[in-house]
Structure 1
Amino acid sequence: MELDPQNAFSAIQTGIREASALVVAYAFSVIGAVLLLIIGFVVAGLVERWVYAGLGQVGGFDLTLRRFFSKIARYVVLGLVVVMVLGQFGIQTASVIAAIGAVGLAIGLALQGTLQNIAAGIMLLALRPLRIGEYVEVGSVSGTVEEIGLFATRLRAADGIYILAPNSTLWTLPVKNFTRNGIRRNDITITVSNEDDLDQVQQSLIEQAETDERVKKDPAPSAFVAELGDATAAITLRYWTSVNEYQSAKADLNKSVMNWQKAKV
């Protein structure tokens, strides 16, 4: 079958015209998409800075949360821009949004534990049951808080061991914060004979505490009979110190009371 040159030339002209029409038709879409992307990136950056600065005006708002929410605001704007760009090319954005939602749901189910840690991290940063530098005990985890992240919290144990605890663990269990109130109580209990003057023993223990400048005057130290046996009695000295001086005062007063008891004997 012979190819008719005239028909071939006409087909080429038709193809060129159709291609030109497509180029013209999509050129405006491409230009619009590029403009949308440029404007979107600029607006996303501005929104991120506005959210970051706005949250900074909220007293005590954590820096990590400020960064997190400002980044979320940026990505939300960029997501809207991408949907608008796809709309420029005639793509059904409703289907795209539905697909993104389905993918997001699948990812959420796959990363359920990770998302729990993120949610717990946000709550820890917002409600602040623990802060950096505080000594806390949560279940079997105890140590000084060094960093609170969105996924996990880093602590340093009393013996220097590195601890990385998932935020969900710290959020779902009761937090015992030894630092937050600023003062701590300590009890020293000794055993004496029932033949001893218990009032004198109690007064002597109180004097031992009052001679230490680290012991708080309010609440004042006290001593009381904690347990009474047939031949002995347990006397407890109770006093309060600042958190920073707790360990040193405890060690010194333990030694002081022990020396006093030896001298009494």
Structure 2
Amino acid sequence: MENLDGQLEELTPMIIEHGLSVLGAVFILLIGWWLAGWAKKKVMKKGQAAKGMDNTLVPILGQITKILILVITILAVLGQFGVETTSIIAVLGASALAVGLALQGTLSNVASGVMLLILRPFKVGDAVEVGGTTGVVDSIGLFTTEMHTFDNIGVSMPNSSVWGSEIKNMNRFEQRRVDMVFGIDYSDDMDKAMDIIKKVLSEDDRILSDPAPQIAVSNLGDSSVDIITRPWVDTPNVWPVRFDITKKVKEQFDANDVSFPFPQRDVHLFKEN
């Protein structure tokens, strides 16, 4: 009994010491976790409020802030147990090199994401075409670029695929040209048709006068004489103008006896003796 009491007396300081270390580690972990989330929200809020800050960079800065605070928290927790953190950092550095060699594809996505953020061929909210996929950019992360198509289908593309593809940004410039082709019958008056198109364009306030619209005969097709029409508009008006002008030209052609020919082919029959 006396031996047991003696052992307890010897273990009590050790239990108290380690118990306090565990409690301190748990406290540091909880505070660090809360601080990481709070700092991420704070950085994103400040970034969204800043006038010169691009919305594309805001989520990335918030995520990096959170990761840095969590790393510092973990090192502080290990230090609470007397672990030599400098050696751990060295081991982590060596491990990071090994992991980097094993995850070259993943790191390629990270590097591509960094290049997208630095060079910024597009930003969040832009309508783009990337690798044959057309949609609106929702976010640019460290690994993937998130988009949704115009019919609202979500698309997640690895950053390396985005960076390695041709990127068409439909919102980069304030003005765009709308290319339309109207085919008329060979028997119709070309000048009359072109005057009708010119009149339709002049009545639409969304059509810019500078640069002036271009209306010209572009092709003598198998079944039609093709008249190319190229008005310039502000970028948000591209599709509304295309739809409206197509409808109005068809209505005016019908009202003025200008026809849209159906595809046709002449067939010659030869009688063999």
TM score, norm. by length of structure 1: 0.67
Q: Among 153, 160, 168, which residue is 1:162 paired with?
A: 153
CA RMSD of aligned residues (A): 4.4
Give how far 1:57 is off.
3.8
Match of 1:252 in 2: 247
Greater Rg by CA: 1
Match of 2:181 in 1: 188
Deviations 1:72-109 (A, max 9, x none): 32332232232223223222222322343444445545
Give how far 1:189 is off.
5.4
Distance 2:17 2:100 in 1: 40
Q: Among 258, 261, 264, which residue is 1:262 paired with?
A: 258
Give how far 1:210 is off.
2.3
2:160 counterpart of 1:148 = no
- 1:191 touches 1:233 (CA, 8 Å); kept in 2? yes
- 1:147 touches 1:153 (CA, 8 Å); kept in 2? yes
Q: SS state of the match for residue 179, structure 2?
A: strand
Q: Map of 1:152-231 to 2, 5 A cutoff?
A: 152-157=145-150, 160=151, 162=153, 164-168=155-159, 169-180=161-172, 181-188=174-181, 190=183, 202-203=194-195, 205-226=197-218
Same amino acid, percent of matched pairs: 29
- 1:210 touches 1:221 (CA, 8 Å); kept in 2? no
Give how far 1:166 is off.
0.6
Deviations 1:2-55 (A, max 9, x none): xxxxxx96x656644542343355455445545544554464455334423432
Give how far 1:233 is off.
7.7
Give how far 1:141 is off.
1.4
- 2:194 touches 2:227 (CA, 8 Å); kept in 1? yes
- 2:40 touches 2:66 (CA, 8 Å); kept in 1? yes
TM score, norm. by length of structure 2: 0.65
Match of 2:271 in 1: none
Q: Map of 1:92-131 to 2, 5 A cutoff?
A: 92-117=84-109, 120=112, 127=120, 129-131=122-124
How many equivalent pairs are there?
250
Unaligned runs of 5+ in 2: 260-273
Give how far 1:201 is off.
6.4
The residue type paired with residue 89 of structure 1 is: F
Distance 1:80 1:106 in 2: 22
